Amino acid sequence: MNAVLQRLSGFWRRDEAAGADVPVRDWVANSAGQPTRIQGFDAMLVWVIVALLAFGLLMVYSASIALTDSPRYARYAQDYFFTRHLLGIFVGVACAGVAVLIPLSVWERWAPWAFVVTLLLLVVVLVPHVGKVVLGARRWIPLGVMNFQPSELAKMTIAMYAASYMVRKMDVKENFFQAVWPMAVAVGVVGVLLLAEPDMGAFMVIAAVAVGILFLGGVNGRMFSLIIAVLLGAFVLMIAFSDFRRERIFAYLNPWEDKYAQGKAYQLTHSLIAFGRGEWFGQGLGGSVEKLHYLPEAHTDFLLAVIGEELGFAGVAVVICAFFWITRRCFHIGRQSIALDRVFAGLYAQGVGIWMGGQAFINMGVNLGALPTKGLTLPLMSFGGSAILMNCVALAVVLRVDIENRQLMRGGRA
């Protein structure tokens, strides 16, 4: 009898505030039909993220170890990029630890203001003598310890703002001008500021996140098709009226032509050579030749090419599977949250899934020659302090969504 009572006590708890017994499902059935307690958080998601961060740190060190032989980096220590990347991971993990403690209700309440702060930072970075210029692009605000890139913050805040916007406009989502037009203006303003840096790659990711959340939030199919048509038209016009972007497209279409192979397609051709040398299992860790001043930005935009050369198809396949799993997991957490009537949390989690999966897809496509060259890093892996920071914080909030989902499924409060 005592054993039965003890077992029942695991299924029920007393809600002291209401003074009534409420059912608490803190177990699931395993394959043998026995109850198994639900964990408080998604440990597998955490371990996959940690594995990608650690793998990225290793590959950044491998890809950057020879950079100090170049006159441009002659004054840097051999482990400079490794140390900076390690610092970025520590800062990102520390901020993620704080972010995961903040309830989703707080994030939802502050989402519009966070978006306003992002817009201000995107303006500040364009101010002469404030924004830092690297290779002709003004994208960073120097903070002493690290350089902060507002466009990375914009990816997270646009996901929050779009999710918050869809919750607030849920009753008018069938009306184009009331439901879509204000959001389109917000994305347009961000796009103008990003293109002034210029950073078309970040704008593509942000537009994809915003449009994806609108679609998942239930925007009418005809409206969604119109939005896609407008965005495609905008990208075509940007390419048509920009000589260097047009040259990139031509170089992508024919990278081995003489005038492109040593010019706009130089990175692409050497990336393809790196993948070709890697074959199935690679040349061995540290065995890349292309990173020895042949492949520019090997530790940032083209880190996957170094992975392909050193670890071959097997290493690249592992990375692809990891990002696919993270994207799928974000969507699963989002669907679960929406099923629990937590629309903001669900749309945000799915927006982060679009961000991680979409940016990884674009970076991989560029490295493999399937997409035109873009200045986008591989999330969680490529060198870049502000990118690592925002990736960790964004995924920490998704983890918070999952934690609150589990609390609700156990009969508690989020």
CA 245 to centroid of chain Cα atoms: 24
Tally Cβ neighbours within 10 Å of residue 32: 6
Burial class (CB in 10 A: 0-12, 13-18, 19+), 93: middle
**Global confidence as pTM:** 0.85
Q: What is the pLDDT of residue 227?
A: 73
Burial class (CB in 10 A: 0-12, 13-18, 19+), 386: buried
Residue 350 one-letter amino acid: Q
Q: How confident is the prediction along the chain (414 residues), in pLDDT tens digits per residue?
A: 444 334 333 433 333 344 433 333 444 444 444 444 446 778 999 999 999 999 999 999 999 988 887 777 778 888 889 999 999 999 999 999 999 999 999 999 999 999 999 999 999 999 888 888 777 778 888 887 788 899 999 999 999 999 998 888 766 555 666 667 777 888 888 888 888 888 888 888 998 998 889 888 877 666 667 777 777 777 777 777 767 777 777 777 777 777 777 777 788 888 999 999 999 999 999 889 988 888 888 888 899 999 999 999 999 999 999 999 999 999 999 999 999 999 999 999 999 999 999 999 999 999 998 888 877 899 999 998 899 999 999 999 999 999 999 998 877 665
DSSP element (H, E) containing 147: strand 147-148
- In sequence order, which residues have a C-beta less than 8 Å from that of residue 130 and are 6 or more positions away? 124, 141
DSSP element (H, E) containing 406: helix 385-409
- In sequence order, which residues have a C-beta less than 8 Å from that of residue 104 and are 6 or more positions away? 342, 344, 345, 348, 397, 400, 401, 404, 414
Q: How far apart are CA 313 and CA 316, in angstroms?
A: 5
- By C-alpha distance, which of 179, 197, 123, 191 is closest to 155? 191
- In sequence order, which residues have a C-beta less than 8 Å from that of residue 141 and are 6 or more positions away? 121, 124, 125, 130, 131, 132, 147, 148, 149, 150
Angle at 86 between CA 74 and CA 94, to 5 degrees: 145
